[in-house]
Structure 1
Amino acid sequence: MTQQTWIAFFVASWLISLSPGAGAIKSMSTGMRYGYRKGLWNIFGLQLGVIFLIAIVAAGLGAVLAASQHAFMVIKWLGVVYLVWLGIQQWRAEPQPIEFHDEGGHTPRQLVVEGFLVNASNPKGIVFMLAVLPQFINPHAAQAQQYLICAGTLMFTDVVVMSGYTLLASRVLSALREAHHIKWMNRTFGSLFVGAGALLATFKRSAE
Structure 2
Amino acid sequence: MDYHVWLAYVVTAIVFSLAPGSGTVNSISNGINYGTKKSLAAILGLQIGLAFHIALVGAGIGALVAQSAVAFSLIKWIGVVYLLWLGVQKWREKANIQSSEQPLPQSSVKLLRSAILINLTNPKSIVFLVALFPQFLDPGKDQLPQLLVLGVTTVCIDAFVMLGYTSLAAQLGRYIRSERIMGRINKVFGSMFVGCGALLAAAKS
Q: If the length of structure 1 is used for normalisation, what is the TM-score?
A: 0.62
Alpha-carbon distance in 2 for matches of 1:169, 1:48:
22
1:141 Cα deviation (Å)?
A: 2.3
Q: If the length of structure 2 is used for normalisation, what is the TM-score?
A: 0.63
1:168 Cα deviation (Å)?
A: 1.1
Q: Relative to total residues, which structure has the larger helix share, 1 or 2?
A: 2
**Alignment match, 2:137:** 137
Alpha-carbon distance in 2 for matches of 1:143, 1:112:
31
Unaligned runs of 5+ in 2: 65-95, 183-205
Pairwise CA RMSD of aligned residues?
2.6
Alpha-carbon distance in 1 for matches of 2:116, 2:139:
29
User: Is 1:40 the equivalent of 2:32?
Assistant: no
1:16 Cα deviation (Å)?
A: 0.3
Bigger Cα displacement from structure 2, 153-162 vs 11-20? 153-162
Superposed CA deviations along residues 147-200 of structure 1, whole A, max 9, x for unmatched, are 111111112221221111100111222xx7xxxxxxxx6xx79xx9xxxxxxxx
**Alignment match, 2:108:** 108
1:107 Cα deviation (Å)?
A: 1.4
Identical columns (%)? 38
Amino acid at match of 1:129: L
Give the secondary-structure state (helix, strand or coil) at the position aligned to 1:60. Answer: helix
How many residue pairs get aligned? The number is 145
1:5 Cα deviation (Å)?
A: 1.0
Alpha-carbon distance in 2 for matches of 1:143, 1:105:
45
Alpha-carbon distance in 2 for matches of 1:34, 1:144:
39
Superposed CA deviations along residues 127-148 of structure 1, whole A, max 9, x for unmatched, are 1111110121222322222111
Alpha-carbon distance in 1 for matches of 2:127, 2:139:
19
1:1-208 matched pairs, under 5 angstroms? 1-60=1-60, 95-96=101-102, 105-173=105-173
Unaligned runs of 5+ in 1: 64-86, 99-103, 177-184, 193-208
1:50 Cα deviation (Å)?
A: 1.3
Alpha-carbon distance in 2 for matches of 1:162, 1:113:
16
